[in-house]
Amino acid sequence: MAGGADDPRGRNVWRREAVSSPCVNICVMHPEARLCTGCLRTGEEIAAWSRLTEEERLAIMAQLPARGPLVSSRRGGRKGRLARGTRPGKTDQGET
């Protein structure tokens, strides 16, 4: 078929295997852990993801649950201020 999606052997040349991805469209890098807070991958892993084999992707995905605690603690908000013993309008170093 000239110009068609099928090659002479009857395979669909446009067909691709689904790419597994932990992406949840929350793309914010944690400044200390250097991990995406949404998917828990490093910037290097995210950049290389489309070029990795399915086995390489699965190996990275197996590591992700252990990375969760690295990005789960927060410094801000009321709970963080209370833990540090500071009040709104007052910083850890003194008054604002």
Both structure tokens of 81 = 């201020």
Average pLDDT in the 84-96 region? 60
- Say which amino acid occupies 64: L
Provide the CB-side half-sphere exposure for 88 (13 A, CA).
3
What does the pLDDT look like over 67-83, one tens digit per residue?
Answer: 999 988 666 667 666 77
Closest listed residue to residue 49, CA positions, set 81, 84, 19: 19
Q: Where are the domains of the chain?
A: 26-60
What does the pLDDT look like over 18-69, one tens digit per residue?
Answer: 668 999 999 999 998 999 999 999 999 999 999 999 999 999 999 999 999 9
- Name the strand (E) or helix (H) holding 24: none
